[in-house]
Amino acid sequence: MTQYDAPFEIHVHGEVRLRADVSFDALQDALKPLWKYAGARSLSDGAASAFEDEPGIRFDADQHLLQMCWTVRGGEDFRQSLDEMCMNLNDLADAGAAIEVTFYDAEFDEEEEDDGEESRDDFVMLFVGPTPAAIMQAQRDLLVEDVVNLMERHFDGAELSGVVGEIDKLFSQRFDALVNSLEIGRPPRGPGGSGHGGGGRRPRHLH
């Protein structure tokens, strides 16, 4: 499949804060699933977007930031590249972050919509982070932002603390379930055989 025959224009958008010790070479290795998919030989070669008005993939070494506003032409197999990229970025991230991926149906036109045909457009929200707690924190923050933005059309922001509290309860339950699942099958520690691992830090705001 050539890029000209690709059924989708796939846009990857997000910003990931990286550890201070992350080098360009390490980031290049982590993002290899993306630039290799685009047919490039290196991150520098593949960082440019398919659209000239998009900044592409950028590494801000001073701010320790990975910034992505990058489009590639491809198919459904690109999802595997995304999975590999997320696993790699987990090892480099300093905090949880969201990455938005939009699949635009390049073969769809308005005439097909008039004939009852539906577009194959799709949207995927991915999360990366150094720990499960950091990833949950990013998920929680995004959900709170979306819910508050929606409800502020009808309520004052000060009235929404209870809603935010309920969201925090849901994520606390999910976090506790994750910690418990990690403890299952772990051999006991200490002379009494009753020690437990911590399972990671609880995300902020989740009381």
Is 80 exceeded by the pLDDT of residue 189?
A: no
Residue 85 burial (C-beta neighbours within 10 Å; 0-12, 13-18, 19+): buried
* Window from 15-24, 87-96, 149-158 with minimum mean pLDDT: 149-158
Residue 163 burial (C-beta neighbours within 10 Å; 0-12, 13-18, 19+): middle
Residue partners of 123: CB distance under 8 A and separation at least 6: 100, 101, 102, 103
* Window from 21-35, 80-94, 126-140 with minimum mean pLDDT: 126-140
Mean predicted lDDT score pLDDT of the chain? 85
Mind listing the pLDDT tens digit for each residue in 192-205?
443 334 445 555 55
Is 80 exceeded by the pLDDT of residue 29?
A: yes
- Please give the single-letter amino acid code of residue 84: E
Confidence tier at 159 by pLDDT (50, 70, 90): confident
Is 50 exceeded by the pLDDT of residue 191?
A: no
Tell which wins on pLDDT, 183 or 9.
9
Q: Return the pLDDT at 193.
A: 41
How is the chain split into domains, by residue range? 3-130, 131-207
Confidence tier at 206 by pLDDT (50, 70, 90): low
User: Diameter of the chain by CA atoms?
Assistant: 73
Q: Return the pLDDT at 200.
A: 53
